Amino acid sequence: MEYEEIMKKLIKKTMRMFYETHHAVIMDILLEYMIMYDNEICEKMKMLNKEFNRLVVKLKDDKLLKAETKIETKSDGRQLLRCVYFIVYSEIKDVIKYKIFKMSRFLEQEIKNTEKLQGYKCSSCFKEFGVLEAQRLLENFIFKCDECSGKLIENKGKTSIDDPHMLHSIMMNELSEVISMLKELDKHNIPSIDYFQVLALRKGKEMMKSSSLKSEYKICEIQEEEEKQEIFVE
């Protein structure tokens, strides 16, 4: 899958920007194994199942991972209900896109609201007026102060970290890499897959990894044999 590396990078970046550390760790584990039972993740994270269930709620609510309940039959015939977690790249991409869109729209609305509230102030005595107040002070196409007749100018106030304009600029700058990755991913057709398809993908990757390890082991054996022959010849 050509898009997989970009997708992994996008998820890791997003998790570390918007979520707590334990959420990022859970997603990192699932990125490596694709699909896992709850007890397997708990073992990796060295935590109790109860604690894990509390932490994973946020990820499920935000639709960053999927969960299904499966019946596991033990060697003694007992059946247990187990929860299995997995990730679907196409859904995660859409969730991230929507999250950024909502954040951007929220700040844009805050900018509009701030501009409405800023109003005007007198350039001479610095008395402040709301937008509606200033409308009744228009004289010969000029807003004039009702105290000193000074010219009214736009009251932009002080720029601070709470200024929506600045926040929007900071946010877009920090998200530039995420947005770039999303645009790149839009070039790919990322399929929506279910539990069985994710399971098949994991098994396929494990087989490829096993085959690769066997090949490496075989190469090492050949190299060792060649070294032994060289020593014997000498």
Residues 110, 165: contact at Cβ < 8 Å? no
Instruction: Taking residues 178-187, report their average pLDDT.
Output: 95
Residues 80, 72: contact at Cβ < 8 Å? yes
CA distances from 4 to 9, 80, 81, 93 (A): 9, 33, 31, 12
Token duo for residue 224: 């060792």
- Rounded to the nearest 5°, which phi and psi values hold at 77? 95, -10
Is pTM beyond 0.75 here?
no
- pLDDT tens, 81-140? 889 999 999 999 999 999 989 888 887 777 777 665 567 888 899 888 776 667 667 666
Give the C-alpha separation, 199 to 222, whole Å.
35
Confidence band of 26 (pLDDT split at 50, 70, 90)? very high
Token duo for residue 49: 């199942």
More confident residue, 51 or 164: 51
Could you give the domains of the chain?
1-116+160-214 (1.10.10.10), 120-154 (no CATH)
Query: For residue 217, is pLDDT > 70?
Result: no
Query: For residue 225, is pLDDT > 70?
Result: no
